[in-house]
């Protein structure tokens, strides 16, 4: 009971930001396309599909917060003969918050163009047209007008003139840079801006406009000489009006079996694990497996903020699935370049 009251007070104080608070994932680094439209199809694969499920505050009485994400990507070579290519994606997420069933849906089709500047450097630019919807369930709300001074009557008309939902055009853009050195090390950095059209939070006549979401992200990958281990330090910073978030940390991959290079009898197998810190909020631990392009795993957020009194330090859990495919022709080109 005490924990529930603490959480309700916290959410009540932040209620004015619900419609403005952007959706974040602890597994953001598994699909940069959800973060930056310029990063579509830049992970080395020709096709990929990624889905993530996040459940937050499930230890508290009442409805937890849940988020479902989906990202699909495809690489389309530029027919001019250069190594430039187009990337086309499909991004979708659905988020439902608390007993009010406050729901946000976002659908976008990010498109980018990647230019091979030289043997080691690539630059991508992208745009992401789409639409954005929000809504809530008025029947799950209680209003002052439904209290007669003695009892509460849910059948009394509240008199509140609010829209149940709204939809608006939403556009984003971004840039993404990659560097791959001869020693197998890789580096990347990107910047993206979402809600360029600043859709109106249209629940009432005097609704505010969405803050623009600015995102900076960067990372690297270091591989041992025999490809046995990979280390990936990464950082991401969100700026969304008065809301800011910084996450940094490192993940690693250990190769268990490189698989057969000629036949498909032996599959490539590896495990992935990492630790991240969301500034003034949570410590994130993740673990996953990768079998010949099929990835599955989970991450756990442990609250370290004042909110841990209500959550018992159990912030959120995320489950993800991803499949990536590299065509034989693309893999052959990479090997020839390295030689």
**Which residues are CB-neighbours of 281 under 8 A, at least 6 positions away?**
245, 303, 304, 305, 315
Query: For residue range 225-243, what is the model confidence (pLDDT) as tens digits?
Result: 778 899 999 999 999 999 9
pLDDT value of position 212: 95
pLDDT value of position 81: 66
List Cα–Cα distances, 86 to 59, 74, 212, in angstroms.
44, 8, 26
Give the mean model confidence (pLDDT) for residues 118-132. 95
Query: Which residue is it, tokens 């090390």?
Result: 185
pLDDT higher than 50, residue 18: no
DSSP string, 269-309: EEEEEEEEEETTTEEEEEEEEEETTEEEEEEEEEE-STTHH
Give the mean model confidence (pLDDT) for residues 13-32. 68
pLDDT higher than 70, residue 337: no
pLDDT value of position 329: 55
Selected from 3.90.930.12, 2.40.160.40, 3.30.1360.10, 3.20.20.120, the CATH number assigned to the domain covering 2-338 reads: 2.40.160.40
State the chain's mean pLDDT as an integer. Answer: 85
Query: For residue range 261-308, what is the model confidence (pLDDT) as tens digits?
Result: 655 656 789 999 999 999 999 999 999 999 999 999 999 999 898 877
Spatial CA neighbour of 132 closest among 194, 65, 73, 174: 194
pLDDT value of position 307: 79
pLDDT value of position 279: 94
Query: For residue range 305-336, what is the model confidence (pLDDT) as tens digits?
Result: 887 777 788 889 999 999 999 875 554 455 45
Each domain of the chain, given as residue ranges in start order, spans: 2-338
Residue 93 to residue 68: CA distance in whole angstroms: 5
| pLDDT range class, residue 2, cuts 50, 70, 90 | very low
Residue 290 to residue 279: CA distance in whole angstroms: 29
List Cα–Cα distances, 164 to 7, 101, 160, in angstroms.
25, 11, 11
| pLDDT range class, residue 65, cuts 50, 70, 90 | confident
Query: Which has more confidence, 27 or 143?
Result: 27
β-bridge mates for residue 103, sequence order: 96, 135
pLDDT value of position 59: 74
pLDDT higher than 80, residue 47: yes
Give the mean model confidence (pLDDT) for residues 114-131. 96
pLDDT value of position 265: 57
pLDDT value of position 108: 97
Helix (H) or strand (E) holding 194: strand 186-194
pLDDT value of position 28: 93
Residue 24 to residue 21: CA distance in whole angstroms: 9
pLDDT higher than 90, residue 33: yes
pLDDT higher than 70, residue 11: no
List Cα–Cα distances, 172 to 92, 168, 191, 245, 307, in angstroms.
14, 13, 11, 19, 32
pLDDT higher than 70, residue 136: yes
**Which residues are CB-neighbours of 329 under 8 A, at least 6 positions away?**
none
- Paired tokens of 296: 């599955």
Query: For residue range 150-206, what is the model confidence (pLDDT) as tens digits?
Result: 787 767 766 666 778 888 999 999 999 999 998 889 999 999 999 999 888 877 666
pLDDT higher than 70, residue 339: no
> Are 255 and 229 a contacting pair, CB within 8 Å?
yes
Helix, strand, or coil here: 319? strand
CA 122-126-132 angle, to 5 degrees, is 150
């Amino acid at each position: 009971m005490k924990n529930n009251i603490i959480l309700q007070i916290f959410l009540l104080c932040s209620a004015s930001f619900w419609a403005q608070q952007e959706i974040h994932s602890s597994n953001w680094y598994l699909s940069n396309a959800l973060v930056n439209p310029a990063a579509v199809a830049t992970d080395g694969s020709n096709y990929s599909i990624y889905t993530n499920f996040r459940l937050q505050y499930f230890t508290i009485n009442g409805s937890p917060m849940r988020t479902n994400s989906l990202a699909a990507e495809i690489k389309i070579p530029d027919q001019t003969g250069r190594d430039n290519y187009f990337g086309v994606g499909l991004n979708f997420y659905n988020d439902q918050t608390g007993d009010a069933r406050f729901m946000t849906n976002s659908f976008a089709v990010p498109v980018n163009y990647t230019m091979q500047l030289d043997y080691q450097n690539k630059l991508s630019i992208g745009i992401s047209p789409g639409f954005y919807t929000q809504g809530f369930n008025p029947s799950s709300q209680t209003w002052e007008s439904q209290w007669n001074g003695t009892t509460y009557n849910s059948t009394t008309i509240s008199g509140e003139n609010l829209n149940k939902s709204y939809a608006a055009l939403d556009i984003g853009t971004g840039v993404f840079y990659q560097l791959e050195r001869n020693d197998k090390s890789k580096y990347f950095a990107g910047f993206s801006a979402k809600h360029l059209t600043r859709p109106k939070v249209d629940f009432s006549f005097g609704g505010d406009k969405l803050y623009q979401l600015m995102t900076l992200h960067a990372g690297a990958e270091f591989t041992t000489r025999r490809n046995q281990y990979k280390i990936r330090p990464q950082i991401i910073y969100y700026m969304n009006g008065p809301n800011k978030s910084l996450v940094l940390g490192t993940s690693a991959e250990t190769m268990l079996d490189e698989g057969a290079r000629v036949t498909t009898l032996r599959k490539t197998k590896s495990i992935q694990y990492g630790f991240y810190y969301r500034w003034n909020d949570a410590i994130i631990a993740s673990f996953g497996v990768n079998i010949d392009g099929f990835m599955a795993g989970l991450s756990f957020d442990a609250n370290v903020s004042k909110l841990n009194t209500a959550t018992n330090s159990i912030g959120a859990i995320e489950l993800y699935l991803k499949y990536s495919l590299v065509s034989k022709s693309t893999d052959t080109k990479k090997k020839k370049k390295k030689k």
